[in-house]
A and B are shown apart, each in its own frame.
Chain A
Amino acid sequence: MKSSVITFPGSNCDRDMDVALKKFGFKNKMVWHNDAELPKSDLVVLPGGFSYGDYLRCGSMASKSKIMKSVINFANSGGMVMGICNGFQILVETGLVPGVLLRNKYLEFICKNVFVKINNKKNTYFKNIDNEVLEFHIAHNEGNYFCTKDQLKEIEDNEQIAINYCDKTGKTEEQFNPNGSIKNIAGIFNKKKNILGMMPHPERMIDSSLSGEDGSIFFNNLINNLK
């Protein structure tokens, strides 16, 4: 399986993602934002970081960069595109997934482990995962998911909510919402479920001696589903 990780000026989780993808069997290529063509890929990842210094709005400048035209074409033709953290912010700015990510409700940068409940397993990303709840890491200042009432209805009707913040037993109550996101939303799909944007970082949970193994569950499952 071939993957591509896009590096924007200011990306800082691109190499972690490279390590994670390779660990679970992907042949990964790093792609510079100023390139025009995407290498042949089964999965394209927009990594975390602070692309373009978060100027204007997080992800807004990166969403207009040269490589994104190819990424948008790839996504619109059904290609698998995953945006993590700043990558999620870039995805919402392209309009590939609905909504926006606002400043965290209590104006603090949040860096901690969280639990997320898998809300929809009928897709290539989460199909065949036995767990209902995964422990991932979040590190962001703008992860407060917001959309209009009409958009929310559409997202819910189309089962586009991927994961919600919860406690370790899977309760998705407001007290387990770290950043003020509507309905505790931590990640969403596009309508076809080939595009996933999420704030948590699975690539930070692939080594038991450093963090945890729930990211390993995610990547192992993902590559098996893609085969």
Chain B
Amino acid sequence: MKISVIITLKKDVLDPQGKVIHQALDGMGFADINEVRQGKYFEIDIKYNDPKKAKEKVEEMCQKLLANLVIENYKIIDAQ
């Protein structure tokens, strides 16, 4: 089954890329943005059919490699 995960920067971590994207969007006329934060998205096709077990494994992957928990949060957003 496929598990989707997003990794986002924690609130108090500076995101210079997000800031520049914000500025670019602003320059293009999207003037009503408060803030842009950039993150990462992973789609993991895992050899389990049990969503609970699959999610547990992916969570372990997030903690051990996919996210650096000093600066990032992870969230499993979809399992299908």
Write the residues of chain A forming the contact surface with B, with a CB cutoff of 8 angstroms.
56-57, 60, 64, 93, 99-100, 102-107, 144, 146-148, 151, 180
Query: Which 9 pairs of residues, A with B, have the shortest CB-CB distance?
Result: A100-B70, A107-B16, A100-B71, A103-B16, A100-B68, A57-B68, A105-B16, A107-B20, A64-B65
Interchain CB contact under 8 A, A107 and B17? yes
Among residues of B, the one whose C-beta sits closest to the C-beta of A147 is: B70
29 contacts between A and B (CB under 8 A): A56-B65, A56-B66, A57-B68, A60-B65, A60-B68, A64-B65, A93-B68, A99-B70, A100-B70, A100-B71, A102-B13, A102-B14, A102-B71, A103-B16, A103-B17, A105-B14, A105-B16, A106-B16, A107-B16, A107-B17, A107-B20, A144-B14, A146-B13, A146-B14, A146-B70, A146-B71, A147-B70, A148-B70, A180-B14
Among residues of B, the one whose C-beta sits closest to the C-beta of A106 is: B16
Besides A93-B68, A100-B70, A146-B71, 12 other CB < 8 A contacts? A56-B65, A57-B68, A60-B65, A60-B68, A100-B68, A102-B13, A102-B14, A102-B71, A105-B16, A144-B14, A147-B70, A148-B70
Complex alpha-carbon distance, A140 and B70, angstroms: 21
Q: Which residues of B contact A180 (CB under 8 A)?
A: 14
Among residues of B, the one whose C-beta sits closest to the C-beta of A144 is: B14
Complex alpha-carbon distance, A104 and B20, angstroms: 13
Q: Which residues of A contact B66 (CB under 8 A)?
A: 56
Complex alpha-carbon distance, A104 and B13, angstroms: 13
Q: Which residues of A contact B17 (CB under 8 A)?
A: 103, 107
Nearest-neighbour CB distance to chain B for A5, whole angstroms, equals 25
Complex alpha-carbon distance, A56 and B72, angstroms: 12
Q: Which residues of B contact A93 (CB under 8 A)?
A: 68
Q: Which residues of A contact B14 (CB under 8 A)?
A: 102, 105, 144, 146, 180
